Structure 1
């Protein structure tokens, strides 16, 4: 029987990290340029930089062009969506089957839905995906279930089988964590980290959800390396042949990205994506 707690590529390869890139993060690149890279150029650069795939949110009218562009560079596909109904889930799962996506992650509902209602929805969403052979993760993200550390911990209590796409920049900015030892942030997050099978690479300093971390050697970036390594370490404990831990660099364009008053970005998100990739590899080595 398939194990849908993690993505498995069906091979006999040892458990491994797979670093991907978000398509959303490629919007408005190159930085402050008069013309944006074409889809084909984006895919080419992602491949040349050593990323294995691209995460996409696709409408049906976008499927053909994006699938062709990814296939031309040998890039894998992951699908995200924001389901408010089970029909939304069915639509994205069908798309994943049609496009041969590796797995699906969801930003479900909105954060004011009572967990007593959200849990049956999430259980049925997982079943819909699993019945079609698709792995399904729930993203930790503001403005959906779960949007905060406390909400995620309660979700784990009610639904221990849940598996997460961990974007912990949201928890860090909501909790105003700075990575100080006496905060006990990682210890508080462990029930979630132990159920994390996919990570998004964005770093918060506790005040802004997305910051430039320069070369990644500073305290803020290394705090996130410790968070990611804790999740990866827990994942590795039960990992087997063919299991893959996906990590996606996900640095959003403005308004996620901070800008100057005239709207220009002052952080090169493409350069920072390469830093995210290196930090993911550092976390994997430490796990």
Structure 2
């Protein structure tokens, strides 16, 4: 059976000053009680990975691990930690700034060889100030590496490229190419000028619907790739603290990120249920 697993980001659990408000184990208990399937957090440091794994397993939560490699050796070390403790998949924010496909081909070739040696997916995340910062360059990487698997955080391309609110066929084709190679999603809604907007505000509803349409397309494409294979697709609610979250003059956030995350969880599950 093919399933959608909805994760909650532990980064999104930080308060408006970027600080945790409770112990790791207590955070996971709240996340599990809210009906999430798993959690997303850094997963390359041995002591933290061990603690996170023990707490998550005790609550039946899956783990989306995050790593920030710069070299082939960096990924080898992260995979060793993740393999010891187990995860649903590992997502890479490749901490490299690239100006051409050729510049990063040796690095991606080395990472792909390593990814073939583990029993969980290794996904390259679309993210600003990473190797996937530039959408055309990322599309070039996909052309050179037909087996490269992405994790799509579309918010970075919306705000990074200032995509217009009115849908553009060319932009949608580019985004669809990203989705056709994605095996998971990081979820937030962006606008042309803000990487993360409150979901309930009236002025953001057009963007919310745009993102829901993209995510639906990505889910549908994933389901169609090979209907005979069991597996699970991940979606992380990743509503980060300021400066991702918009604040007023007093530094307070304009919306309740936890409530927005619960709403997002339900919205994407509804998309999935409509498809399956």
TM over 0.5: yes
1:79–1:96 contact (8 Å) kept in structure 2: yes
2:98–2:104 contact (8 Å) kept in structure 1: no
Shift of the alpha carbon at 1:98? 0.7
**Distance change (3 Å), C-alpha of 1:35 and 1:137:** closer
2:6–2:237 contact (8 Å) kept in structure 1: yes
Gaps of 5+ in 2: none
Normalising by structure 2, we get a TM-score of 0.91
Q: Distance in 2 between matches of 1:215 and 1:277?
A: 17
Q: Name the counterpart of 1:174.
A: 160
Q: Name the counterpart of 2:34.
A: 49
Q: Name the counterpart of 1:219.
A: 206
Among 232, 242, 249, which residue is 2:219 paired with? 232
Q: How do residues 80-95 of structure 1 correspond to structure 2 at under 5 angstroms?
A: 80-95=66-81
Q: Distance in 2 between matches of 1:225 and 1:103?
A: 23
Q: Distance in 2 between matches of 1:49 and 1:240?
A: 31
Shift of the alpha carbon at 1:179? 4.1
Shift of the alpha carbon at 1:228? 0.7
**Distance change (3 Å), C-alpha of 1:240 and 1:124:** farther
1:55–1:80 contact (8 Å) kept in structure 2: yes
Q: Name the counterpart of 2:13.
A: 26
Q: Distance in 2 between matches of 1:193 and 1:63?
A: 29
Q: Name the counterpart of 2:230.
A: 242
**Distance change (3 Å), C-alpha of 1:118 and 1:60:** same
**Distance change (3 Å), C-alpha of 1:215 and 1:100:** farther
Mapped pair 1:263 → 2:248: no
2:50–2:85 contact (8 Å) kept in structure 1: no
Q: Distance in 1 between matches of 2:161 and 2:99?
A: 21
Q: Name the counterpart of 1:132.
A: 118
SS where residue 176 of structure 1 aligns? coil
Q: Distance in 2 between matches of 1:226 and 1:111?
A: 30
Q: Distance in 2 between matches of 1:137 and 1:64?
A: 21
Aligned-residue RMSD, C-alpha: 2.2
Mapped pair 1:159 → 2:141: no
The range that moved more, 93-102 or 260-269, is: 260-269
Between Structure 1 and Structure 2, how many residues are aligned?
A: 272
Among 188, 193, 212, which residue is 2:179 paired with? 193
